[in-house]
């Protein structure tokens, strides 16, 4: 007789019905789909807490995989659908080859992405304790990388690279923080050219270069500020007043080519200036021209703080307070010495080498200057206190150099990207000894020579080029003779007018009253 259920009957209760014998595990017919008996219509579907009907009154527990027995904690889910008998267990090998490896796992924790089903943005799965381990990737690959960096040769190469980068950072930092009056862009370009990166600078200049436009009108009036200075005739001194210039473009604009008196010395005309369009094609660009009477002024050569060096020849790289009395004008020097194809001499000291045949501006100890070819027109004598050489003459014996339009970059300087039309400057000497200075935007070597020739120069040389290095300033005392105020000659001059009132990187010339 079958035994009663667990616990036995309680007092006052009838004994539980006997348990049916345990059904053997369901075995479907081989090679046949099992047929299941549907429940009778009058019986209805099983509900929660009821035993299913059909198939012998038992069913398989989906949690444990065994037949249902009393005492299991499983409860029938609420459903209105008829209970279906469990399907036959699949062949394990057949299911292994047919399974979808990227199908969602019903027993996986919530929020866990199966590899291949995420969008690639979730990153590696979290490590132990719910925190990301941070050890993504192939451990063998990480091991190879660690072994690679443990090699002595690799460590030696890395040490050399680190030392090199430290040197570059130190050198560049010193260049950018140097007190030489230059903007950061000019400092960076100078540093690059000093460290064999001139081709990189030239490439950047080519990318930013814009050729000049044809035609147009100037952006400012060529009459210039009206000067109130007037000179008086002094017995025994004949003033030298230059003739007005004929413009290249016609008709002439008001004030174009007309000399205006800017500085006097003992009531005599010492400095004249005028404006003139650079040529007959690029009529919207204006050049500035200055003319000095050497009988009333004296010229001083000053070194740059970096080229040739501060204090070179016992001279200062700026106009210091206390030395500004009588200051009339300042203008730029030539190319950097390593690109000038010449040398620099000042008060017994020489930087580079004075080269024969080079265009030279010679500073005599009496304050006058002379321009000519070194070794033919000028040389080093006991009366010479300074020499500045730069390239070759662009005007010789009143004639423009025949190669002025040939091999411009090699003969007359590496301009912005090798362009012909850039900011340029030049200086010349007339037949009667006057000194003329010309500078302006969008000048070629030929138009610069043409302007100097039009101003009366019979010997002339090119000075520095490009916007940051070309400038002329004259100084107004205005009741403060010990500290005159600088005024840029051209209104569109890129560099500030007071740049020589602080340390400057390149050499320049200071003009004082005699």
Pick the more confident residue, 43 or 196: 196
Among candidate residues 454, 458, 432, 429, the one with its CA nearest the CA of residue 443:
454
Share of the chain above pLDDT 90, in %: 47
Average pLDDT value for residue range 329-355: 94
pLDDT surpasses 80 at 95: no
Q: What is the mean pLDDT of residues 119-130?
A: 51
In a domain, 214, yes or no: no
CA-closest candidate to residue 275, choices 262, 287, 292:
287
pLDDT at 314 over 70: yes
Same domain, 73 and 156: no
- In eight-state DSSP terms, residue 469 is G
Q: How wide is the angle at C-alpha 194 spanned by C-alphas 158 and 211, nearest 5°? A: 120
Please, are residues 480 and 494 in contact by the beta-carbon 8 Å criterion? Answer: no
What is d(CA 200, CA 79) in angstroms, rounded to the nearest whole number?
80
- Distances 496 to 174, 222, 328, 406, 436 between C-alpha atoms, Å: 23, 21, 17, 33, 22
Q: Does 5 reside within a domain?
A: no
Out of 208, 230, 248, pick the residue that ends a domain: 208
User: Does one domain contain both 310 and 409?
Assistant: yes
Residue 7 pLDDT grade (very low, low, confident, very high; cuts 50, 70, 90)? low
pLDDT on residue 111:
53
Q: Are residues 305 and 454 in the same domain?
A: yes
Look at residue 220 and tell me whether its pLDDT is greater than 50: yes
In this structure, the number of other CB atoms found within 10 A of the CB of residue 258 comes to: 16
Residue 484 located in a structural domain: yes
The model's pTM is 0.67
Same-domain status, 416 and 485: yes
Nearest to 189 by CA among 180, 178, 202: 202
Number of C-beta neighbours around residue 107 at 10 A: 4
**Residue 421 has what pLDDT?**
87
Query: Who has greater pLDDT, 504 or 234?
Result: 504
Q: What would the mean pLDDT of 47-59 be, rounded to a whole number?
A: 48
Do 473 and 374 share a domain, yes or no? Answer: yes
365/444 same-domain check: yes
Distance, CA of 303 to CA of 313 (rounded, Å): 8
Q: Is the pLDDT of residue 413 over 70?
A: no
**Same domain as 373, residue 303:** yes
Residue 9, pLDDT above cutoff 60 = no
Per-residue pLDDT at 175: 80
177-211 tens-digit pLDDT: 877 667 777 778 778 877 778 778 777 777 777 78
pLDDT at residue 54 above 50?
A: no
In a domain, 428, yes or no: yes
Query: Could you read off the pLDDT of 352-385 as tens digits, one per residue?
Result: 999 999 999 999 999 999 999 999 999 999 999 9
What pLDDT shows up at residue 338? 87
Q: Report the mean per-residue pLDDT for the chain.
A: 80
Name the β-bridge partners of 80.
Answer: none
| Reported confidence tier of residue 161, pLDDT bands at 50, 70, 90 | very high
Per-residue model confidence as pLDDT tens digits over 255-301: 999 999 999 998 899 999 999 999 999 999 999 999 999 999 999 99
Q: Identify the pLDDT of residue 295.
A: 95
HEC secondary structure over 94-160: HHHHHCCCCCCCCCCCCCCCCCCCCCCCCCCCCCHHHCCCCCCCCHHHHHHHHHHHCCHHHHHHHHH
165 and 299 housed in the same domain? no
More confident residue, 98 or 384: 384
CA distance 155 to 167: 18
Check residue 6 and give its pLDDT: 53
Assigned domain for 431 exists: yes
- Asked whether residue 171 is domain-assigned, the answer is yes
User: Do residues 457 and 328 both lie within one domain?
Assistant: yes
With 90 as the cut, is the pLDDT of residue 454 above it?
yes
Q: Is the pLDDT of residue 500 over 90?
A: yes
Q: Residue 192 belongs to what H/E stretch?
A: helix 184-194
**Which range is least confidently modeled, 223-227, 468-472, 485-489?**
223-227
Give strand ranges (E) for 231-267: 260-265
Number of domains in the chain: 3
* C-alpha span between 103 and 116 (Å, rounded): 10
Q: Nearest CA to 420 among 463, 389, 465?
A: 465
Domain shared by 105 and 160, yes or no: no
The last residue of one of the domains, among 88, 114, 140, is 114
Could you give the 3-state DSSP secondary structure of residue 480? coil
Say what the pLDDT of residue 48 is: 47
Judgement on whether residues 439 and 369 belong to the same structural domain of the protein: yes
- So what's the pLDDT on residue 240? 86
pLDDT for position 192: 81
How high is the pLDDT of residue 179?
Answer: 72
Closest listed residue to residue 246, CA positions, set 237, 236, 259, 235: 259
Mean pLDDT is highest, among 38-47, 98-107, 420-429, for: 420-429
How many CA within 13 A on the CB side of residue 171?
A: 13
Domain contains 18? no
- 8 A C-beta contact, residue 342 and residue 354: yes
Q: What is the chain's percent helix, strand, coil content, to nearest 5? A: 20, 20, 60
C-beta separation of 378 from 372 below 8 A: yes
Of the candidates 230, 289, 301, 286, the residue with the CA atom closest to the CA atom of residue 434? 289
What's the mean pLDDT in 4-16?
58
- Residue 482 within a domain: yes
**Please, which residues have CB within 8 angstroms of residue 461's CB and are 6 or more apart in sequence?**
334, 359, 360, 361, 371, 390, 391, 392, 393, 394, 426, 427, 428
Cβ count near 45 (within 10 Å): 13
Over residues 323-351, mean pLDDT: 94
Task: Express as a percent the part of the chain with pLDDT over 70.
Answer: 68
Of the listed ranges 71-75, 162-166, 206-210, 492-496, the least confidently predicted one is 71-75
Whether 231 has a pLDDT exceeding 90, the answer reads no
Domain of 49 in residue numbering reads as 41-114
- pLDDT number for residue 351: 95
Q: What is the CB neighbour count within 10 angstroms for residue 338?
A: 11
pLDDT at position 51 is 47
Query: Can you give the pLDDT at residue 76?
Result: 54
Q: At 440, phi and psi to the nearest 5?
A: 170, 175
Domain boundary among 172, 192, 208: 208
Tokens of 41: 């219509």
pLDDT at 397: 95
- Looking at the structure, tell me whether residues 450 and 329 fall in a common domain: yes
Listed in sequence order, the residues at least 6 apart from 28 whose beta carbon sits closer than 8 Å to its beta carbon are 34, 88
Show the tokens assigned to 189: 């370009």
**Which stretch of 97-106, 332-341, 446-455 has the lowest confidence by average pLDDT?**
97-106
């Amino acid at each position: 007789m079958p035994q009663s259920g667990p616990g036995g009957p309680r007092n006052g209760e009838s004994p539980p019905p006997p348990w049916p014998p345990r059904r053997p595990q369901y075995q479907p017919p081989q090679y046949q789909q099992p047929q299941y008996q549907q429940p009778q219509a009058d019986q209805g579907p099983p509900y929660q807490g009821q035993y299913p009907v059909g198939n012998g009154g038992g069913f398989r527990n989906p949690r444990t995989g065994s037949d249902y027995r009393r005492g299991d904690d499983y409860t029938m889910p609420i459903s209105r659908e008829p209970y279906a008998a469990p399907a036959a267990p699949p062949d394990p090998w057949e299911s292994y080859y047919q399974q979808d490896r990227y199908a969602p796992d019903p027993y996986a924790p919530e929020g866990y992405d199966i590899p291949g089903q995420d969008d690639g943005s979730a990153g590696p799965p979290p490590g132990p304790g719910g925190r990301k381990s941070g050890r993504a990737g192939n451990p063998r690959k990480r091991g190879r990388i660690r072994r690679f960096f443990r090699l002595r040769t690799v460590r030696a190469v890395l040490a050399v690279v680190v030392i090199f980068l430290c040197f570059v950072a130190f050198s560049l930092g010193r260049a950018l923080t140097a007190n030489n009056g230059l903007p950061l862009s000019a400092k960076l370009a100078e540093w690059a050219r000093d460290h064999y990166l001139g081709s990189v600078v030239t490439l950047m200049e080519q990318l930013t270069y814009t050729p000049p436009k044809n035609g147009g009108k100037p952006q400012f009036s060529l009459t210039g500020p009206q000067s109130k200075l007037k000179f008086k005739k002094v017995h025994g001194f004949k003033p030298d007043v230059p003739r007005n210039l004929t413009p290249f473009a016609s008709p002439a604009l008001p004030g174009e080519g007309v000399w205006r008196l800017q500085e006097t010395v003992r009531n005599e005309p010492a400095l004249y200036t005028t404006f003139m369009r650079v040529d007959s094609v690029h009529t919207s660009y204006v050049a500035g021209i200055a003319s000095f009477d050497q009988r009333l002024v004296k010229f001083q050569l000053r070194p740059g703080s970096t080229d040739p060096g501060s204090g070179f020849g016992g001279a200062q790289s700026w106009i210091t307070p206390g030395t500004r009395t009588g200051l009339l004008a300042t203008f730029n020097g030539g190319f950097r010495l390593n690109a000038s194809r010449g040398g620099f001499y000042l008060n017994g000291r020489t930087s580079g080498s004075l080269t024969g045949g080079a265009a030279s501006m010679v500073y005599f100890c009496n304050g006058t200057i002379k321009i000519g070819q070194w070794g033919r027109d000028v040389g080093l004598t006991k009366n010479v206190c300074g020499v500045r050489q730069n390239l070759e003459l662009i005007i010789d014996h009143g004639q423009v150099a025949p190669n002025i339009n040939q091999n411009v970059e090699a003969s007359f300087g590496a301009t912005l990207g090798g362009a012909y039309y850039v900011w340029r400057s030049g200086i010349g000497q007339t037949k009667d000894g006057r000194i003329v200075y010309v500078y302006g935007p969008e000048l070629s070597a030929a138009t610069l020579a043409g302007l100097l020739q039009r101003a009366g120069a019979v010997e002339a040389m090119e000075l520095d080029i490009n916007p940051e290095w070309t400038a002329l300033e004259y100084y107004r005392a205005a009741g403060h003779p010990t500290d005159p105020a600088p005024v840029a000659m051209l209104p569109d001059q890129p560099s500030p007018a007071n740049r020589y009132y602080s340390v400057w990187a390149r050499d320049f010339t200071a003009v004082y009253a005699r």
